[in-house]
Structure 1
Amino acid sequence: MQSACKMISNVRYARGALIVFTLIAVAAFQPAAGQSLTIKDLGALPGQYNYSNALGINERDQVVGYSITAGGNTHACLFENGVVTDLGTFPGGSYSSASAINDRGQVVGSSSTARGSSHAFLFEHGVMTDLGTLPGGDVSGANGINERGQVVGLASNLRGYIHAALFENGVVTDLGTLPGGSDSGALGINDRGQIVGYSSIAGGYAHAFLYEHGVMTDLGTLQGNNGISHAQAINNRGQVVGISSTASGDVHGFLYEKGVMTDLGTLPGLNDSNAFGINNRGQVVGESDAGTNPYLPHAFLFEHGAMTDLGTLPGDNFSEGVGINERGDIAGNSTLHAILWTRKK
Structure 2
Amino acid sequence: MSIKITSIMALVATLACLTHTPAYAVGNFYTIKDLGAIGDGTLSWASGINQNGQVVGHNYASHAFLYSNGSIGDLGTLGGGYSDAYGINGSGQVVGGAYTAGNAARTAFLYSNGTMSSLGTLGGTNSAAYSINNNGQVVGEANTAVYNSCCSFTSHAFLYSNNVMTDLGTFGGSDSRAFGINNSGQIVGGAFTADNTAYHAFLFSNGAMSDLGTFGGTRSEAFGINSNGQVVGIAQSLDNTAYHAFLYSNGTMSNLGTLGGTNSFAISINNNGQVVGESDTVGNSARTAFLYSNGAMSDLNSLLNQGSGWTLLEANGINDLGQIVGMGTINGQSHAYLMTPTAVPVPAAAWLFGSGLLGMAGFVRKCTTRLETRK
Q: Which interval holds the TM-score relative to the shorter structure?
A: 0.7 to 0.9
Report the equivalent of 1:127. 115
Of 34, 50, 62, the match for 1:58: 50
Of 92, 108, 112, the match for 1:105: 92
Report the equivalent of 2:245. 253
Provide, for residues 15-58 of structure 1, a one-character-per-residue CA deviation record: whole Å limited to 9, x for no partner.
xxxxxxxxxxxxxxx965898211221111131x6100011000
Report the equivalent of 2:258. 266
Q: CA deviation at 1:271?
A: 2.4
Larger Rg: 2
Q: CA deviation at 1:290?
A: 2.9
Report the equivalent of 1:187. 179
**Counterpart check, 1:79 vs 2:67:** yes
Of 327, 338, 341, the match for 2:339: 341
Q: Whole-Å Cα distance in 2 between the matches of residues 152 and 106 of structure 1?
A: 13
Alignment of 1:154-173 (within 5 A): 154-159=141-146, 160-173=153-166
Q: Whole-Å Cα distance in 1 between the matches of residues 169 and 114 of structure 2?
A: 33
Q: CA deviation at 1:340?
A: 1.2
Q: Contact conserved, 1:32 with 1:308, CA < 8 A, in 2?
A: no
Provide, for residues 209-230 of structure 1, a one-character-per-residue CA deviation record: whole Å limited to 9, x for no partner.
011122111111011xx32111
Q: How many equivalent pairs are there?
A: 304
Q: CA deviation at 1:293?
A: 6.9
Q: CA deviation at 1:270?
A: 2.5
Provide, for residues 267-322 of structure 1, a one-character-per-residue CA deviation record: whole Å limited to 9, x for no partner.
2x32221100001111111111137676x312111111111111078444442211
Report the equivalent of 1:289. 280
Q: Whole-Å Cα distance in 2 between the matches of residues 33 and 117 of structure 1?
A: 47
Q: Whole-Å Cα distance in 2 between the matches of residues 113 and 270 of structure 1?
A: 41
Q: Contact conserved, 2:132 with 2:181, CA < 8 A, in 1?
A: yes
**Counterpart check, 1:196 vs 2:184:** no
Q: Contact conserved, 1:123 with 1:129, CA < 8 A, in 2?
A: yes
Report the equivalent of 1:238. 229
Q: Which has the higher strand share?
A: 2
Per mean C-alpha deviation after superposition, the further-off stretch among 49-58 and 306-315 is 306-315
Of 169, 172, 176, the match for 2:169: 176
**Counterpart check, 1:214 vs 2:207:** yes
Q: Taking structure 1 as the reference length, what is the TM-score of the superposition? A: 0.83
Report the equivalent of 1:88. 76
Q: Whole-Å Cα distance in 1 between the matches of residues 280 and 37 of structure 2?
A: 25
The amino acid across from 1:287 in the alignment is E
Q: Structure 1 residues 64, 344: CA separation in 2 closer, same or farther (over 3 Å shift)?
A: same
**Cα root mean square deviation, aligned:** 2.1
Gaps of 5+ in 2: 1-22, 147-152, 344-375
The amino acid across from 2:287 in the alignment is P
Q: Contact conserved, 1:297 with 1:318, CA < 8 A, in 2?
A: no
Q: Which has the higher contact order (CA 8 A, sep 6+)?
A: 2
